[in-house]
Amino acid sequence: SQQGEEDPQALSIQEGENATMNCSYKTSINNLQWYRQNSGRGLVHLILIRSNEREKHSGRLRVTLDTSKKSSSLLITASRAADTASYFCATDQYSGNTPLVFGKGTRLSVIA
């Protein structure tokens, strides 16, 4: 089953602009992760934010987590055409040996 929703489902921006994607989830979590997937390819792990963290940065990526609202956002600054991909959030409950549960994803298109 899927944990929650991501919005927008699709996002198209110009190169150089910032892209913001949101993710909501339903259950308590230990951490939330963001992945990128190019068309027809495997997953690339971008960033992990733990439940006791509120914000995390990695290069041009900024992730926030609001556990009270059960939501997270991924911001990509100064986007590039190469950022065009699908982005998924995934939650990890750490409750026993549980799998990651993925959101529906956002398809980002960055136009040069």
Binding site for another protein (CB under 8 A): 1-2, 30, 40-43, 45, 48, 88, 92, 94, 96-105, 107
CA distance 12 to 15: 10
Tell me the closest approach of the beta carbon of residue 104 to another protein, in angstroms: 5
Q: Which residues contact 46 (CB under 8 A, 6 or more apart)?
A: 33, 34, 35, 36, 58, 61, 74, 87
Taking the least distance from each CB to another protein, the nearer of 83 and 92 is 92
Taking the least distance from each CB to another protein, the nearer of 15 and 53 is 53
Taking the least distance from each CB to another protein, the nearer of 76 and 89 is 89
Tell me the closest approach of the beta carbon of residue 45 to another protein, in angstroms: 8
